[in-house]
Structure 1
């Protein structure tokens, strides 16, 4: 790896029930960037639970500010795509509370799709229907053509994490589309980082995942230009 910024630190907020995001994001960031994590309460996918996650957002952000991080990453796809402006509301609240710049998973996915030149996507998720619909609407509201959107109907972070990566590979391949510029494997709580490269080879298109996108976006926002092979085109080329 090269082009890293020694001594830079990223703070990350994840759902309390997520057991995968830390390890995946750490694996996809340069070693010279520190990663410091805290949690907000979220185990399920109901509207009430998703809305409630950000109730204690200022407190969580303030805890990360104590670590003097350079950037705060709010890493929950479902919450940051709840509405057209959900991501901006979250980053504005973090900045007001801490004075530290912030990014969200939704913002990271949009940025990744933009640098890849993708205008149309297939959205593959573990979510229940209401969350799939909200996320598809978010991407459409930001100018993307969502040619297909599918969920596996799983409600909890814990159950999402139990599925083998092969399940997400099979679901994505079952929804291949010649109209898609890229595929989005959405959700920070599923096992996906080890299958990105192979999937890109199979479908002949870029594949973005939530944890991959936040790792890439946070890395670039810290000023690092480090490239990392093995986790898809986004991290290897941009």
Structure 2
């Protein structure tokens, strides 16, 4: 019989933006084979404020439906929405749990947990976002007591365009942003960009921890579900 990993150790439900073609692939790469990932989509393609907030319109029904598969936890996985305001991630978790009866987590939760574990106070923030989203994320981090001491944004609007950014372009953006900046950690934000494969090399080059949105979600979800197994090669966060 050909062995198939069905998720007998744990099952993670994930709610992703409808236009995102990267998050599931990177999460799957970073989750152990014995952890199943069950996904559904919420409408989001662009980066305007109305589009971001409209992603929450069908949140309750989507959480209910993925909850039918009996996951051990359900993750709302969008950085720009979960960091839109300091209170929003908590409201999202509450709605997911009320609709599904399952423990919930959001991308923002993983970011804050990673920053705390890595004892971060000064962040280099690199994003593909348009300026308002980038600046809103700076405000979110500062409201959590984390100073953004440098970084840059690319001005890309849609998830589809973000997915097309070559990893080499992201790496060059990080290197340019890091010049002359005294930071504790580099955060490459956005679930829709191909960044997970860059983590280890950039950590070695920059001599600081590097986290990404998909990496912190995989790590935080495993911790939430009390899964001890880790896939090697995705940075200091996983090693810790």
TM interval, short-chain normalised = over 0.9
Moved over 4 A (4+): none
* TM-score w.r.t. length of structure 2: 0.95
Task: Quote the Cα distance in structure 2 between the aligned partners of 1:65 and 1:225.
Answer: 23
Contact 2:149 2:181 in 1 (8 A): no
Superposed CA deviations along residues 142-179 of structure 1, whole A, max 9, x for unmatched, are: 11011124210000000000010011111111111542
Pairwise mapping of residues 10-159 of structure 1 onto structure 2 (< 5 A)? Answer: 10-159=12-161
> Secondary structure at the residue paired with 2:197?
helix
Whole-Å Cα distance in 2 between the matches of residues 15 and 189 of structure 1?
9
Count how many residue pairs are aligned between Structure 1 and Structure 2.
233
Alignment correspondent of 2:183: 180
Cα distance between partner residues in 1 of 2:181 and 2:229: 32
Which residue pairs with 2:3 in the alignment? none
Q: Secondary structure at the match of 1:173?
A: helix
Q: Could you tell me how far 1:6 is from its partner in structure 2?
A: 4.0
Counterpart Cα distance in 2 of 1:138 and 1:40: 23
| Worse-matched range after superposition: 146-155 or 38-47 | 146-155
CA RMSD, 1 decimal: 1.1
Is 116-125 or 37-46 further displaced after alignment? 116-125
In 2, Cα distance between equivalents of 1:63 and 1:98: 8
Q: For the Cα contact (< 8 Å) 2:203–2:235, is it kept in 1?
A: yes
More deviation in 158-167 or 144-153? 144-153
In 2, are the aligned partners of 1:14 and 1:39 still within 8 Å (CA)?
A: yes
Residue 227 (structure 1) aligned to one of 217, 226, 230:
230
**1:113 Cα shift?**
1.2
Unaligned segments of structure 2, at least 5 residues: 1-6
Report deviation, 1:92: 1.0
Contact 1:136 1:149 in 2 (8 A): no
Map of 1:211 onto structure 2: 214
218-227 vs 203-212, greater mean Cα deviation: 218-227
Give the TM-score, by structure 1 length: 0.95
Measure how far apart 1:81 and its partner are. Answer: 0.5
